[in-house]
């Protein structure tokens, strides 16, 4: 009985989080990064002040974990082409350029923290491999565009 109630509470908290917060974020990838950022690096527990106030700390924690798993699932199952589009959208919504995103992300690899803790190592490796590839595609596109811009300049 208690478990059933708890499940309903978690579902309500999930809907609340999706409606109030996640709906305002553009792109699945941005949502994934946002959800991962609510996790404490030391304890692995999620925390969201507003959600914990409206529900309870444990219900909020479970709801965020569940949303994080769903967001990760969507991203890990999308194609590299879709991932490239998501990264471009993410860069645009964070007021940065794709080239800046590629430069920083290749160095710091922050996408590694986007993986939920209970995910299989195979899914985690598949995800990071796809992100690295998507970044490489973005970089190739920029190089191509740069070369085309140079060749379009009138020769002295």
Using the contact rule CB under 8 A, the part of the chain among 24-32, 46-54, 103-111, 117-125 near another protein is: 117-125
Q: Which residue has the tokens 């002295």?
A: 156
Question: Rounded to a whole number, what is the distance in angstroms from the first to the last CA of the chain?
Answer: 81
Does 92 participate in binding another protein (rule CB under 8 A)?
no
CA distances to 31, 43, 138 from 25, rounded to whole Å, are 6, 26, 22
Query: Which residues does 115 contact at the CB level (< 8 Å), separation at least 6?
Result: 36, 72, 123, 124, 127, 128
Contacting residue, 112, 125, 146, 147, with another protein by CB under 8 A? 125
Q: Is 129 in the site for another protein (CB under 8 A)?
A: yes
Using CB under 8 A, pick the residue from 58, 106, 133, 145 that binds another protein: 133
Three-state secondary structure call for residue 138: helix
CB 59 to another protein: min, Å: 16
DSSP 24: G
119 lines the binding site for another protein (CB under 8 A)? yes
C-beta separation of 35 from 67 below 8 A? yes
Q: Distance between CA 152 and CA 124 in Å, rounded?
A: 42
Question: Quick one: which of 58, 79, 94, 109 contacts another protein (CB under 8 A)?
Answer: 79
Q: Does 53 bind another protein (CB under 8 A)?
A: no
122 binds another protein, rule: CB under 8 A: yes
Could you give the CA distance from residue 64 to residue 48 in angstroms, rounded to a whole number? 8
CB of 120 to another protein, least distance (A): 4
Of 18, 80, 89, 92, which one interacts with another protein (CB under 8 A)? 80
Give the interface with another protein as residue ranges (CB under 8 A).
Answer: 69, 73, 76-77, 79-81, 118-123, 125-126, 129-130, 133, 136-137, 140-141
């Amino acid at each position: 009985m208690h478990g059933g109630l708890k499940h309903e509470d978690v579902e309500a908290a999930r809907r609340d989080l999706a409606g109030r917060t996640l709906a305002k974020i553009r792109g699945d990838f941005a949502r994934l990064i946002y959800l991962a950022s609510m996790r404490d690096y030391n304890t692995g527990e999620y925390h969201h002040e507003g959600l914990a106030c409206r529900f309870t700390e444990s219900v909020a924690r479970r709801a965020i974990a569940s949303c994080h798993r769903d967001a990760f699932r969507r991203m890990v199952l999308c194609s590299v082409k879709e991932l490239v589009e998501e990264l471009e959208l993410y860069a645009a919504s964070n007021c940065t350029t794709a080239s800046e995103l590629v430069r920083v992300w290749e160095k710091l690899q922050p996408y590694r923290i986007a993986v939920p803790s209970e995910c299989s190592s195979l899914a985690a490796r598949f995800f990071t491999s796809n992100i690295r590839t998507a970044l490489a595609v973005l970089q190739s596109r920029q190089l191509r565009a740069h070369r085309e811009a140079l060749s379009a300049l009138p020769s002295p």
